[in-house]
Amino acid sequence: EAGVAQSPRYKIIEKRQSVAFWCNPISGHATLYWYQQILGQGPKLLIQFQNNGVVDDSQLPKDRFSAERLKGVDSTLKIQPAKLEDSAVYLCASSWGRTSGLTDTQYFGPGTRLTVL
Amino acid sequence: QQQVKQSPQSLIVQKGGISIINCAYENTAFDYFPWYQQFPGKGPALLIAIRPDVSEKKEGRFTISFNKSAKQFSLHIMDSQPGDSATYFCAALNSGGYQKVTFGTGTKLQVIP
């Protein structure tokens, strides 16, 4: 079974530029997550999709971050314009999408390391 | 109330020793407590998990101890090996509905030969 794919693996940009990250989840997984992991911290959920609908984006800075999951498969996360504090690893994860008491293991991709100068 | 507090921030253990990482939570709605292991350049991977209806779960050299009344849980790595050197995150979630995971801040474990 292929894992979660992400690209690019590394990105360096100047502040105020825009950047986009791509994620391809495990085949058949209904739920897709984007996390921000700042150095020395645990992952923080930015947005969670169930198929192509958003179920949680409460911690997404919507003035600069946007995400979409067209056709309920691949997803892109965009930052425009980037700030210095956006420097972090952006992790994508996916899961089957079980609810109601059944645990739903998340499988993470390798992440994209973003450096904003 | 959504926080999961984790300690220590870093840990150095000799090969063959026991590594212990502690976590505490506040939200009593959490009912599933996974631990993730993350190697440099990789995403976190599920290591072991526990529900609060049991006080201990063991898988190989990894054991979770759970204290529901204190709202604390810990990971013990027995016979620690250099290959266990990684960052470990505790986490907590409510398994009802869409399962939003709250992660601890992480513990960087180094096992020295």
Look at residue B44 and give its three-state secondary structure.
coil
Give contacts of A102 with chain B, Cβ < 8 Å. Answer: 95
Across the interface, of B41, B44, B97, the residue whose CB is closest to A43 is: B44
The pLDDT mean for chain B works out to 93
Query: Is residue A102's pLDDT more than 70?
Result: no
Distance to chain A for B34, nearest Cα, Å: 9
Q: Taking CB atoms and an 8 Å limit, are B101 and A106 in contact across chains? A: yes
pLDDT tens digits along A60-92? 999 999 999 988 899 999 999 999 999 999 999
Give the pLDDT confidence score for residue A113 in this predicted structure.
97
Name the pLDDT band for B33 (thresholds 50, 70, 90): very high
CB burial of residue B70 (10 Å; 0-12, 13-18, 19+): exposed
pLDDT band at A1 (very low <50, low <70, confident <90, very high): low
Using the beta-carbon criterion (under 8 Å), do B41 and A48 form an inter-chain contact?
no
Inter-chain CB proximity B99 and A56 less than 8 Å: no
What is d(CA A10, CA A108) in angstroms, rounded to the nearest whole number? 16
Provide the pLDDT for residue B98: 73
Nearest residue to A32 (alpha-carbon basis) of A107, A85, A87 = A107
- Label the pairing between strands B107-112 and A53-56: unpaired
CB pairs under 8 A between A and B: 62
Residues 4-63 of A with CB under 8 A from B: 4, 31, 40-45, 48, 50, 55-56
- Give yes or no for residue A100 having a pLDDT over 90: no
Q: Look up residue B93 and give its DSSP letter.
A: B
Mutation choice for B interface testing from A23, A37, A54 by most B CBs within 10 A: A37
DSSP state string for A24-92: E--TT--EEEEEEE-TTS--EEEEEEETTEEEE-TTS-TTTEEEE-GGGS-EEEEESS--GGG-EEEEE
Q: How far apart are CA A49 and CA B111, in angstroms?
A: 38
Res. B55: pLDDT tops 90:
yes
What residues in A contact B42, CB-CB < 8 Å? 108, 110-111
